[in-house]
Chains A and B, each alone.
Chain A
Amino acid sequence: MKKVCRYGLPCLLPVIIGVWYFFACPYTQHFKEQLLLFSGDWSEYLQKPAVLSAFAGDYLTQFFLLTGGAAVVFLLVLAVLWWGVRLALIRCKIKNSDIVALLPVAAEAALSCLLEYPLSMTIGAALSVWLFVAVARICQTNVRLIVACFAVVVAYVAFGSHFLLLSLLLILFETRHRRNGFFVIMILVVSIVTPIVASYHYLLTMEQTWLYPFNPYFLRQIPFIPFVTETALLAAIIFACSNLKRGILYAVAVILCVSGMYVASDFRREYHLALLSEAYFGHWGQVKRLTAHPKHNTYLSAYYGNLAAAREGRLPDELLKRYQPAQFGLFLEMNETIPYTQMMASVDALLVCGDLAQAQHSAMLGMLFSPNQRSSRMARRLAEITRHSGDYQASDKFLYLLSRTLFHRDWAKAQSCLNEPIVYPQKDTLFSTNDWHTSLVNLLESAPENKIAADYLLCYDLLRKDIQQFKVDYDRYYLPNFGSNPPAIYREAMLMNLKEEDAAYVQNLSFYHIDDQTVGRGHQFLSAFENDGQNSGKMRLSFGDTYWFYYFYAQLK
């Protein structure tokens, strides 16, 4: 029983962590792989601190692409961290080391639920602790002092900001064994001076230099979040010295871990990342399922819902069945202030419409503003886009980069054989970023049979409530090719453009294929609007599925 308690209980925590990663935030972990493009080029890593941990972290992050890969990799790395902390605490003569060592592990497990917290941080923590275990084996005090000072510098250069774990453990070790004040001061001085010198050498800001390889730019509201692990180590030592029972210590570790993971997990973002990832791998059935009953009504949920419908030619049929943030649910606005995840997502609709120019622009920006400026997701998109536009040289560059990774090389090989450019506009025009109307019109001028672009154009007009423009675009781009059986929303919108007093009214109804049912319902809507227009709830009940209701009642909050 004692053995079960001693070794079994610590095993429970990894199970919790694994289950959490696998079921609660799988897409966050999955997306971490999409934010990296591992090249294996050491010279890149040598330009910044955390050379070893960043290299190893980026290499192992590739496995996050596999189902359950993140959970397995994290559990292994956390196990190494736990084992190292346990040994370190034993060397520091800390009781219940196996239990208290769980606290830093819990901290790393929680932090890793953040999208921008890289695996390299956790690896850096584990390696720093193991370096301490090695240094602590040196018996001669003077030799140990010299090696320790050197080790702190090496730990910063090789493992990054979690070198502080090494410093903390060295100070603790010396305090517990020799009470050598000089040693402690030396370690403190080296630990403070090293990042300052490094900031000069590596051209980092002071904030970056203390937190590298974590990028503080993405979590400005809580800038010193990575030091949670160091704090957890200190707390562990205090707990261990407080003579608390093992059971209580263990309960504290579990509670801290679970609550930490819960707090750090952003479930709204997880939902968004699920949409992004499923769309990335072409699992449109999953995207439809996720957007059918969205957990969160956001621009992204509307965007991917619309995109999934558009791919089946059902965009106008399903447009009003879901939340629509005006036209921003059709295309995602691009500028340098929006989140990089949104930039990455914005490529998808543009690609489906065939707007390769804007898609390439968005993909470039997505790559540029991602945390590492190298994203496998964007590299794949850019390879596709450039190949579709016949720009094989550019495509080959991205395919070459992908071929150096573990899990994209087969895809890259397959892509390199595709040499069929898709239709893109034959006529050039100049337009500003986010000028989707001009872009769609230009696409349809070149390829009138592009129904997805036509639907996007008309739905764009409708969601902007520009029914005059809708009529112009409908007449020019929809009616000639697809106008024989228009969907209800188009009929309803077109009815708004027709005047009953017009002599050609009846002819126009027939010309636009507007059936009697639509006309009748239109009359009902007008009558209800005149009588009970203020009561939007009642109107919604009767006409919530009509474009008329959207036109008169929908407001973007």
Chain B
Amino acid sequence: MIPANIRSAFGLELWFRRHPLTGMMRSLGRLLLSVCCFSCTNLSQSYEQLSELPPVFPDYADITIPCNIAPLNFMLQMDDVRSFTVKIKGVQEYVFQASSNTIRFPEKQWKQLLEKEKGNTLEVYVKADGKGKSFGYLPFLWTVAKDSIDRYLSYRLIEPAYEVWNKIRIEERDLQSFSTRVLGDNNITDRACMNCHTVNHAALPASFMHLRGKNGGTIYAFDGRLRKINTKTPETEGAAVYGEIASDGRFGIFTTAEIVPILHALPDKHLEVYDSRSNLILLDFENNTVSDRPCITGEDFQETFPCFSADNRTIYFCRAPHLPQPDSTLQVHYDLYSIAFDPSTGELGDSVRLVFDAAAVGKSVSFPKCSPDGRFLLFAVSDYGTFPIWHVETDLWLLNLETGMIDKMEKTNGENADSYHSWSGNSRWFAFASKRDDGLYGRPYFAYVNDDGSTTKAFVLPQKMPEFYLTTLKSFNIPELYDLKESYNAHDLRKIYKNTETENFKYK
């Protein structure tokens, strides 16, 4: 007889129960089951046990995963693999068979597995069948966290061609499956650059992205309405660039950076990007105004990458003394600062406060992001400058806002740049772009924050075909987590780009 766990693993139990089978169907079912049996007997056949982990790609060994993530399909990176078997041991035992070097877990069974094993640590055994030889590997672990991750992830797909672009697409991926939706494609918006799709963590979410080009503007989506805004005023230095929207959707804090790309002589450093000047501006989407404060504008300092605290009463940002660039780019260090903010009136404080003196430790801070529960501030740290995605040394550091302690997250950071992070709504997961795989192409990675504030080894966004990351020539930029589906799609964006008048904000 077929063991119950095998039947359940292949989803056959339900199938048997629900479908009154005709004679022919029954025969087919028996055939399938006998194939399963044959597969299962392989498990007990003799094989050479190796004392190493299986060469799985992507690296999914010893990771913590959300209880609602899509199947972690992977492949074995070795020659002559004809098939392999994956046995997952948790409360129950699950067996999956791959007929090539790639395992693609059935989505339905995968969901059931995660549901049953929530909070458990699973042992994953891999046995590979090669030419006349079979190998068993040491098991690796998957800890299924009880905390789920936000359902959607948006990212920009772009070739890592440094300062120019050709084709750009912003996609929204359902993290519970492999389905994606296009939010923007510059093929139908006159090849205009599009960037920074950012969503606030609110019950009624607001989002923005920038669409450049002659009909462009800042696209602001809130409460089912899509607006195109020109945030540049004669009184401020430029249009809004990096920023965040407060949780009520009314206010947004942005930088007006003028971004200049430049090349490094050393080939492994690729590109440097600096701001020739940058200030902070506050946008009021209700009254269509732009405002600022002398302490976050002016010539003496450059301010960038602002974000709101969880209660919206503080704005964190990066600040560095103004130095002539590019001559002094290697000496520019951004520190982490904050300024008070009154979310009811939109009033900014009159002074700024140093939160982390990065220059004192020879570092430079960028992309601070507060966790929605207000416990942590996650930021990227590099040796100098403001744009660390091409700096191999860039890591993410986690500041505990309650204790003031900084965790360098050695378990989570990779060899190459880790940056552009985003929190999940429950503050237990964060996504970030990492170039750890090949140094050139950014990939969306996820890591878990334990109760004690420690973080786990990161894992890459699962794909239907795990080989995808080896063959794609696109970089994943600015991964952004959010729980409610974005309200627009690429056609809405095209319409607003082509047909909608830009709203001009006024300086207050």
Chain A positions within 8 Å of B, measured between CB atoms, are 39, 41, 43, 200, 203-205, 208, 336, 356-361, 364-365, 367-369, 373-374, 385-386, 389-391, 393-394, 396-397, 400-401, 404, 424-425, 427-433, 439, 442-443
Contact = CB atoms under 8 A, between A and B. Distances in A.
Interface string B324-353: 001001100000000000000000000000
A529 B272 CA distance: 49
Interface in B150-184: 159-167, 182
Given A205-B187, A373-B159, A391-B439, A361 B263 contact: yes
Among B161, B262, B491, the one with the most A-chain Cβ atoms within 10 Å of its Cβ is B161
Given A360-B267, A367-B473, A431-B262, 18 more contacts: A203-B182, A203-B490, A205-B187, A356-B267, A357-B266, A357-B267, A360-B270, A361-B270, A365-B164, A373-B167, A385-B267, A389-B267, A391-B267, A393-B438, A428-B269, A429-B265, A430-B326, A432-B262
Nearest to A206: B188
A428 B161 contact: no
Contacts of A373: 159, 166-167, 473
Contacts of A431: 262-263, 265
B480 to A, nearest CB: 21
A368 B159 CA distance: 7
Nearest to B327: A430
13 contacts: A41-B465, A357-B266, A357-B270, A389-B267, A393-B439, A396-B438, A427-B265, A429-B265, A430-B262, A430-B326, A430-B329, A430-B330, A433-B163
Contacts of B467: 41
B440 to A, nearest CB: 5
A424 B439 contact: no
A393 B473 CA distance: 14
B441 interface: yes
B473 A374 contact: yes
B161 A364 contact: yes
A203 B266 contact: no
B471 interface: yes
Given A428-B266, A430-B329, A361 B471 contact: no
Contacts of A41: 465, 467, 471
Interface in B480-504: 490-491
A336 B262 contact: no
Contacts of A357: 263-267, 269-270
A78 B470 CA distance: 35
B162 A430 contact: no
B187 A432 contact: no
Interface residues of B, number: 41
A428 B437 contact: no
A200 B491 contact: yes
A349 B149 CA distance: 49
B268 interface: yes
Contacts of A364: 159-162
A394 B390 CA distance: 13
Given A358-B263, A425-B265, A428-B265, A394 B440 contact: yes
Contact of B440 (A397, A400, A401, A439): A397
Contacts of B438: 393-394, 396-397
A396 to B, nearest CB: 7
Interface string B463-475: 0110110110100
B263 A368 contact: no
A367 B271 CA distance: 17
Nearest to A217: B191
A442 B188 contact: no
A396 B441 CA distance: 13
Q: Which of the listed residues A358, A373, A394, A443 has the most CB atoms from chain B within 10 Å of its own CB?
A: A394
B349 to A, nearest CB: 36
A53 B491 CA distance: 27
Centre residue among A357, A367, A400, A425 by max chain B CB count within 10 A: A357
A266 B302 CA distance: 52
A361 B162 contact: yes
Contacts of B465: 41, 43
B185 interface: yes
Given A203-B188, A368-B159, A401-B471, A428 B264 contact: yes
B425 to A, nearest CB: 29
Nearest to A427: B265
A35 B42 CA distance: 46
Nearest to A395: B438
Interface in B242-275: 262-272
B266 A368 contact: no
Contacts of B262: 430-432
A489 to B, nearest CB: 28
B112 to A, nearest CB: 26
Q: Which 6 A-B pairs have the closest CB atoms?
A: A356-B267, A389-B267, A368-B161, A357-B267, A430-B326, A393-B438
Contacts of B187: 203-205, 208
A361 B162 CA distance: 8
Given A39-B471, A368-B161, A428-B269, A433 B263 contact: yes
A130 B326 CA distance: 62
Contacts of A204: 187-188
Nearest to A432: B262
Nearest to B260: A432
Most chain A beta-carbon neighbours within 10 Å: one of B164, B330, B490: B164
B436 to A, nearest CB: 9
Contacts of A404: 471
Nearest to A40: B471
A443 B163 CA distance: 23
A185 to B, nearest CB: 29
A443 B464 CA distance: 45
Contacts of A359: 267
B345 to A, nearest CB: 43
A205 B164 CA distance: 22
Contacts of A390: 268
Interface in B271-295: 271-272
A373 B159 CA distance: 9
Interface in B28-66: none
Contacts of A427: 265
B166 A369 contact: yes
A396 B469 CA distance: 13
Contacts of B473: 367, 373-374, 401
Contacts of B491: 200
A492 B269 CA distance: 40
A140 B44 CA distance: 59
A208 B270 CA distance: 34
A43 B187 CA distance: 19
B159 A205 contact: no
Contacts of B468: 43
A432 B263 contact: yes
A350 to B, nearest CB: 11
Contacts of B167: 373
Contacts of A367: 159, 161, 473
B189 to A, nearest CB: 10
A478 B187 CA distance: 50
Nearest to A360: B267
Given A204-B188, A374-B473, A394-B439, A430 B272 contact: yes
B456 to A, nearest CB: 23
Contacts of A442: 265
A386 B437 CA distance: 14
A432 B440 CA distance: 20
B402 to A, nearest CB: 38
A389 B268 contact: yes
A430 B326 CA distance: 7
B422 to A, nearest CB: 25
A466 to B, nearest CB: 22
A199 to B, nearest CB: 8
A297 B50 CA distance: 64
A359 B467 CA distance: 28
Nearest to B326: A430
Interface string B429-472: 00000000111110000000000000000000000110110110
